[in-house]
Structure 1
Amino acid sequence: MCRWMTYSGEPVLADDLLFRPVHSLIDQALHSKLGATTTNGDGFGIGWYGEGDVPALFKSTEPAWNDENLRELAGQIRTGLLFAHIRASTGTPVQRSNCHPFRHGTWMWMHNGGITGFPTIKRELVGAVAPELYPHIEGSTDSEVLFYLALTFGLRDDPPAAVERAVGLVEEVAAGAGIRHPVQMTVATADGSTTWAFRYSSVGRSRSLYHSTHIGQLRRMHPEVPVFGTLPDTARLIVSEPLRDMPDAWAEVPESCWGMITEDGRGEQHAFAPRRP
């Protein structure tokens, strides 16, 4: 499986988020504590919103801990909305087009998990993607197909409903093929101002997902942690696993739940339930 993180808030250097925390995402690439695999070395990607109309992406098939270009860029990229993902392939090739995040227009998407039996049901799922969206699929992963199904079902208008319909379709098609418990996912998606995160699995035992508690409170409680002093009060992080062994800094996202964080730091959580399309 994979590990990922999102940041939203006042612009900060990517280096402060990717490399400096004790158990940073780069450290998790080698030493994941909560993932299905300890090592996540099948490529990585970062996506960020900057000066352009669409988010920028930097993706590579190199292990994240061994890429000097990532280290160089992280010290220069300052952004208020960052996606970062380290990949452990579930069977599809290690190639750039299969690295997360995925992008369509102003939207980004990344996923940890998988669709059980994907090769068996791939044709039917891809066939459900809107004809005008189909040509934009570049890779061969279940994660990217899930993204384009969500776009097909209205991600740009109502992200939670669109993801519920996309997951509902996957479960319906899988059931028809005799596949039990097909969906395992934590997903993040953003449009440039708001970030949505989802935690769900058909079997009810989803991969780990956490969100940061109030940065100002953490700064007061833990003055010994330098990174808290660099983040603004509006900062919010969502992570596959905490960036430091500090229980009061992180809250687990509940099972079968979706949440959203706006650019001013406001957040909310709701129950997630797949919808049959």
Structure 2
Amino acid sequence: MCRHLAYLGAETTLRDVVVVPPQGLYEQSWQPRMQKYGTVNADGFGVGWYADGDPQPARYRRAVPIWADASFADVARVTRTRALLAAVRSATEGTSQGEDAAAPYADGPWLFSHNGRLDAWPDGVGALAALLPPAELLRLESRCDSALLWALLRRRLTAGEPAGDAMAAVVAAAAAATEGRFNLLLTDGRTITATAFGDTLFIRETPDSVRVASEPDADGVWTEVPDRTLVTATREAVHLHPLPDRS
């Protein structure tokens, strides 16, 4: 299990979004309040962010707890952005432990994170893996369920499928193949696309920003997203679309 967060809005620092808010993502790494599966998120972390004028995001990922990385505190304090995606990781049993398994995953303008797990990993996800050509399976960034879901989503995005349609299709395929929790989070620096499927998801809107997160911090007013929902959000508007039930 994991916790993740995406932000679009006025220029700010990584520190002000990820570290400073009480009960925010930084604190959720050791004391999540709403996490039903797992107790801490200490198997790694990552942040991806966009610099003005560059559509391709930068990333900082480690295989250590976020609180144990003193260098990140300095990076977060001085790095400014208008869009980011961050995650703290609780690894699924049997998955890779290196920083290559820490979200966000990236390709071109996209950043991706998965909060959840494929319950049948690894032996029972053959039907899902079979949706990828063998060469793409061999190129998975890491040996973990999140990397498989990212490869499936990336394939659709690369083919030109709209992000919301692509994400809904991947969640449907995952739910058909195995039990699990499929909260996905994606951004290209302009739009956030997310799913609530088996775990909590919240949105916070202000006049100059929008946040989508696994659980709220204690700063501002958050709205819970109903389960089985697709979220598409920009700074100007948030839209919710029902996802089909498992059946």
Quote how far apart the aligned CAs of 1:154 are: 4.1
1:170 matched to 2:201? The reply is no
The answer on whether the counterparts of 1:46 and 1:59 sit within 8 Å (CA) in structure 2 is yes
| C-alpha distance in 2 between matches for 1:185 and 1:207 | 8
The answer on whether the counterparts of 1:9 and 1:265 sit within 8 Å (CA) in structure 2 is no
| C-alpha distance in 2 between matches for 1:136 and 1:53 | 24
Other structure's SS at 1:30 match: coil
Letter in 1 for 2:91: S
Equivalent residues in 2 for 1:132-211 (5 A)?
133-134=136-137, 136-154=139-157, 156-174=160-178, 182-200=179-197, 206-211=198-203
Letter in 2 for 1:4: H
| C-alpha distance in 2 between matches for 1:31 and 1:53 | 34
After superposition, the CA RMSD in angstroms is 2.2
Quote how far apart the aligned CAs of 1:170 are: 2.7
Post-superposition CA distance 1:102-139 (Å, at most 9, x none): 01111111011001112113444333225675454210
Higher strand share: 2
Percent identical: 26
Letter in 2 for 1:161: D
The answer on whether the counterparts of 1:41 and 1:88 sit within 8 Å (CA) in structure 2 is yes
Q: How many residues of Structure 1 are paired with residues of Structure 2 in the alignment?
A: 243
Q: Hey, what does 2:46 align to over in structure 1? A: 45
Q: From the CA coordinates, give the structure whose radius of gyration is larger.
A: 1
Other structure's SS at 1:265 match: coil
Other structure's SS at 2:97 match: coil
Q: TM-score, normalised by structure 2?
A: 0.90
The answer on whether the counterparts of 1:130 and 1:152 sit within 8 Å (CA) in structure 2 is no
> Which structure 1 residue ranges, 5 or more long, are not aligned?
175-181, 201-205, 216-232
Q: CA 1:170–1:20 in 2, change beyond 3 Å: closer, same or farther?
A: closer
Other structure's SS at 1:139 match: coil
The answer on whether the counterparts of 1:210 and 1:241 sit within 8 Å (CA) in structure 2 is yes
1:259 matched to 2:231? The reply is yes
Letter in 1 for 2:193: W
Q: TM-score, normalised by structure 1?
A: 0.81
Letter in 2 for 1:41: A
1:87 matched to 2:89? The reply is yes
Q: Hey, what does 1:234 align to over in structure 2? A: 208
> Which structure 2 residue ranges, 5 or more long, are not aligned?
none
The answer on whether the counterparts of 2:228 and 2:245 sit within 8 Å (CA) in structure 1 is no
| C-alpha distance in 1 between matches for 2:171 and 2:232 | 18
1:13 matched to 2:17? The reply is no
Q: Hey, what does 1:105 align to over in structure 2? A: 108
